[in-house]
Structure formats: structure tokens, C-alpha cells
Amino acid sequence: GGGEKPFHIVSPVLESLSLSQAAGTKVYMKLENVQPTGSFKIRGIGHLCQPLSAGGNAGLAAAYAAKKLGLPVTVVVPSTTGPATVRKLEELGAEVEVSGQVWDEANRRALELAQTEGWVSIHPFDHPSVWQGHASLVRELKDSLETKPDAILLAVGGGGLLAGVVAGLHQVGWRDVPIVAAETRGAHSFHAALAAGRLVSLPDITSVAKCLGAKTVAARALECAQECQVISQVVEDTEAVRAVEQFLDDERMLVQPACGAALALLYTGRLQRLQRKGRLRTPLASVVVVVCGGSSMQTAQLRALKSQLGLE
């Protein structure tokens, strides 16, 4: 890894007037949805794969990196993975294997395959190289913003993005910037772990936000909550999907419900609620929301989710 060009781009940081109005403070969007693979995952997975010359967003990132490196890749995905994602993976030249109903089961199969000689398992979120890759997001924020934000809002699935942002905050001297971490109910493994003070496994993933679907969060995510101020928030599936639709109207970008969880913090007034409780400062000069991605989202899927949740 001696100075090769990274696979990710420096993503735009844009002020959102509509989100600012909803939140009552200046909101900057870190647009990870415009990455080559459609999500922030290419930062960490690319960083992990590069010296070597798993589902959904991480699988796309691994397939993209493998294509760039001229390496074969097999991506194991759970049966809940949509056909659009499988098609994109195959277009990138990946072999796709469907195994299990949730990510944890697909990961077990991936680890089995990794026993094959010459194969390496690429974990989508629980690896120091992945966190280091994601840390680049914060370094870019430091370069883009005139002053540090009063909070960073992001979604938590397995905890890789959270771990990367915390690593980045350490690197740029922003350790005092609080993180508001959003999950949907039914995929709230981080929230459950924080409440218990230890890692716990959800019995099942019942949320529609399948990209948040790790039944157990990475151990590093819990450590992050001790190193920085991390405020955990659980939103409902309906709030996340409404946020996806509102964001499409407001910013003309279609993202996944996983990303909608972070956006819902702004649209539902949770930021102001945290201020009233004294958990965030008042006033907030500015906040950053990580628009983490939408690589597998289509309008038909949004319609189906609205119908499923009774939002029509």
C-alpha cells in the first residue's frame, strides 16, 4: 500500500436548506451516496483490499475494489438482499452466493469459504483497516468546513462507520464533537449493547433497514462510546422511510432506509429534543449528517416499503 490512489472520492460537503430548516440549525450533508459504489463502504473496504494486490454496500465495495485490483471475488449475501444489488455485484464481475436469512448467517458462510487456500475474508465492518479507511471522511470534513461542527449524525449497523468516525475525530483533534448514532427499531444492536453495558445479540432483524442488520454490533463500537460522546437514538421504520421520501423531495437524492435513520433525527425533531434534555448544546452552530448511501435503492422499492409499512 505505498501511496496508491484510493478507490473512494473526496465526497462533497453541502449545506442543506431544507434539513437546516427542519433541525433549526445549519446542517451540512457529507454526501457518501455519490461514492463510486454508492456508499461510504468503499473507503474502508478499499483501504482493506488495496494491500492485497461481504452483503449489500460492503459487497459492492469489495467487488469494486477486486475489479480494480484484477482479483477474483465471491460475495456472500443473505436472502433478504434485493435483486438490484445482486445484479450490480454480478456486473462488477463478482460471484454471488446467497446464504442464510440475515447478515450474520451469510458471514458464517464467508468465513467457511475463506478456509480455501489463497482466499481472504473481507469483513464489512469489524476490522481496523476498515475503520482507518472510514476515518478519511472526518479528515475531509476538517478540510472542507471553516469550523468544527457541534455534532455529527450517522447511522449505525455493525459499527464500522462509527468506529471510523471516532478514529477520524482522534486524528483531527475533534474528540469533543458529539456523535448522534441512529438505528431503526428491530436493528438496534448498538443501542441494546449500550443499555446492557456489554455486547448483546438481537434475536432477529425485524427492521426494513436491512443494511443496519447486524444482530451483534462490533466490540469496537462499544469502546467508541467510552472514548467519545456517543448519543444513541432509535427511530421507527416508518420514520426512516418517511425521511427517505422527504429527502428525495428536498434534495433529489434517493437513499436507503439505513441512511433514512440518520436523516430522521433531523426531520422528526430529535435534535431539538436532545438539546432540551441538555444532551446537546444550545444553540448548535452547525451539524454534519453523513448521507451514508443508497446503492441498492430504487423508486419501486420505496413504494413497496411505504405499502408494507402502511404509509400509502
Task: Say if residue 158 is in the same domain as residue 245.
Answer: yes
pLDDT at residue 293 above 50? yes
Go through the chain and tell me how many residues it has: 312
Cβ contact 235:191 at 8 Å: no
Q: Compute the distance between CA of residue 127 and CA of residue 135 in angstroms, rounded to an integer.
A: 13
Is position 6 within any domain? no
Task: Say if residue 132 is in the same domain as residue 262.
Answer: yes
Q: Compute the distance between CA of residue 98 and CA of residue 101 in angstroms, rounded to an integer.
A: 9
Task: Say if residue 190 is in the same domain as residue 282.
Answer: yes
Q: Compute the distance between CA of residue 211 and CA of residue 305 in angstroms, rounded to an integer.
A: 14
pLDDT tens digits along 8-67: 999 999 999 999 999 999 999 999 999 998 999 899 988 888 776 444 567 778 888 888
Task: Say if residue 238 is in the same domain as residue 156.
Answer: yes
| Confidence at 216, pLDDT banded by 50, 70, 90 | very high
Task: Say if residue 154 is in the same domain as residue 277.
Answer: yes
Task: Say if residue 104 is in the same domain as residue 156.
Answer: no
pLDDT value of residue 173: 97
Helix 219-227 crosses helix 160-172 at what angle (to 10 degrees)?
A: 30
pLDDT at residue 81 above 90? no
What single letter denotes the amino acid at residue 171? Q
Is position 304 within any domain? yes
| Confidence at 191, pLDDT banded by 50, 70, 90 | very high
Task: Say if residue 57 is in the same domain as residue 107.
Answer: yes
Task: Say if residue 80 is in the same domain as residue 138.
Answer: no
Is position 75 within any domain? yes
Least confident of 89-103, 173-187, 214-228: 89-103
Range of the domain at 247: 13-41+127-309
Q: How many domains does the chain have?
A: 2
Is position 3 within any domain? no
Is position 120 within any domain? no
Is position 238 within any domain? yes
Mean pLDDT along residues 227-240:
97
Least confident of 104-108, 135-139, 162-166, 169-173: 104-108
CATH of the domain at 132: 3.40.50.1100
Mean pLDDT along residues 247-263:
97
Task: Say if residue 35 is in the same domain as residue 143.
Answer: yes
Task: Say if residue 24 is in the same domain as residue 66.
Answer: no
Task: Say if residue 31 is in the same domain as residue 80.
Answer: no
CA-angle at 233, arms to 204 and 190, nearest 5°: 45
Of 115, 138, 167, which closes a domain? 115
Task: Say if residue 76 is in the same domain as residue 24.
Answer: no
